[in-house]
């Protein structure tokens, strides 16, 4: 594999991570049946070997099983890796059951996550979704105390708006925001990215491949396993998959020129937006892991970026990200 992957810093925090991280959620739930545990451990360890040093999990993935998996897989490499996990949901009977970011709950989650991950300190602790029932100052204050106690190193937010980010950052500097961002989900560009730049906060796009769509491996005939949450997403109806195909065609055109794949161009496009953006594509397959990591070496020229930009502006993405009833509540 020749040279190790480059590193990037998440904002002004000096938290240095590999240019691409690994999202581990899909190894335990949401995209069809969970992967075989031994295979998933081998995959995570292979990622370390290939230069990935940034791993993303959450208590709600599984629930709980994903943190245990990540903890076991990364135990031999603790000094070399950055582990991010999340709080903010109420979990009942192993399922997500609404939001809970009350300070005492955050503290309990931190203790439980430390045990499951088998670590002494959580490198990056995100609020998984903004809880309208708890002032963000109280959330930031609780994490600040955990940082003072040495149980957490960095504070993050997920899917938060600019007003929330500013209020949190005033109490405890926010190291990273994790939100959905890709060529087919570009909402963060309007207000969020400029605010992050101003405040010196890093950005971690989840679903950087559009939950798999931007790999070019799906079309209107694609069917998902009954346990796959994409079945309920408006963007994954056959009509939307068909309508959105032109975005993949565009990536395919650029990919041919660059001797790359559509997925690699989608990731390289994200990396080219800002030097403090670190996407976390997830996968359960070794060949996809290697393909994603290959994106870090692809240089898109200003001309390539202009071509992608002008063509993508003409494409209207069909379908909402989530059904309206779960837009606020989902940690997927």
Q: How many CB atoms lie within 10 A of CB 320?
A: 12
Q: Is the peptide bond before 63 cis (omega within 30 degrees of 0)?
A: yes
- Bridge partners of residue 179, in order along the sequence: 205
How many angstroms separate the CA atoms of 119 and 110, rounded?
Answer: 11
The pTM (predicted TM-score) of the whole model is 0.96
Q: Which CATH number is 7-215+274-298 given?
A: 3.20.20.100
* Cβ-contact 24, 56 below 8 angstroms: yes
Whole-number pLDDT of residue 325 = 66
Q: How many CB atoms lie within 10 A of CB 82?
A: 22
Residue 1 has pLDDT above 50, yes or no: no
Both ends of the chain: CA-CA distance in Å?
A: 32
Q: How much is the average pLDDT of 88-95?
A: 94
How many angstroms separate the CA atoms of 133 and 112, rounded?
Answer: 23
Q: Where are the domains of the chain?
A: 7-215+274-298
Q: Residues 255-277: pLDDT tens digits?
A: 999 999 999 999 999 999 999 99
Known catalytic residues are: 61
When mean pLDDT is compared across 14-23, 53-62, 75-84, 320-329, the lowest value belongs to 320-329
Quick one: how far is CA 23 from the chain centroid? 6
How many angstroms separate the CA atoms of 189 and 201, rounded?
Answer: 14
Helix or strand run (H / E) with residue 202: strand 202-206
Q: Residues 276-294: pLDDT tens digits?
A: 999 999 999 999 999 999 9
């Amino acid at each position: 594999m020749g040279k190790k992957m480059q590193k990037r810093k998440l904002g002004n925090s000096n938290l240095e991570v590999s240019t691409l991280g690994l999202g581990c959620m899909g190894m335990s739930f949401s995209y069809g049946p969970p992967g075989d545990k031994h295979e998933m451990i081998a995959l995570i360890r292979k990622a370390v070997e290939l230069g990935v040093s940034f791993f993303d999990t959450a208590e709600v993935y599984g629930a709980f099983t994903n943190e245990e998996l990540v903890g076991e897989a990364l135990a031999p490499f603790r000094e070399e890796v950055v582990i991010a996990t999340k709080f903010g949901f109420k979990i009942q009977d192993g399922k997500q059951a609404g939001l809970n970011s009350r300070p005492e709950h955050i503290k309990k989650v931190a203790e439980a996550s430390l045990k499951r991950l088998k670590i002494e300190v959580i490198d990056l602790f995100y609020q998984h979704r903004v809880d309208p029932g708890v002032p963000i100052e109280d959330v930031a204050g609780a994490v600040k105390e955990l940082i003072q106690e040495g149980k957490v190193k960095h504070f993050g937010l997920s899917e938060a708006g600019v007003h929330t980010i500013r209020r949190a950052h005033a109490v405890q500097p926010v190291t990273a925001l994790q939100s959905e961002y890709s060529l087919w989900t570009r909402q963060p560009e309007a207000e969020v990215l400029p605010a992050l730049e101003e405040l010196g906060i890093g950005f971690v796009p989840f679903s950087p491949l559009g939950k798999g769509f931007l790999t070019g491996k799906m079309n209107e005939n694609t069917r998902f396993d009954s346990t796959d949450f994409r079945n309920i997403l408006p963007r994954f109806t056959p009509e939307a998959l068909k309508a959105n195909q032109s975005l993949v065609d565009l990536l395919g055109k650029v990919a041919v020129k660059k001797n790359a794949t559509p997925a690699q161009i989608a990731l390289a496009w994200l990396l080219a937006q800002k030097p403090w953006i670190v996407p976390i594509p997830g996968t359960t397959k070794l060949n996809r892991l290697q393909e994603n990591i290959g994106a870090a070496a692809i240089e898109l020229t200003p001309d390539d970026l202009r071509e992608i930009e002008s063509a993508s502006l003409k494409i209207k993405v069909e379908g909402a990200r989530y059904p309206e009833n779960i837009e606020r509540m989902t940690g997927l």
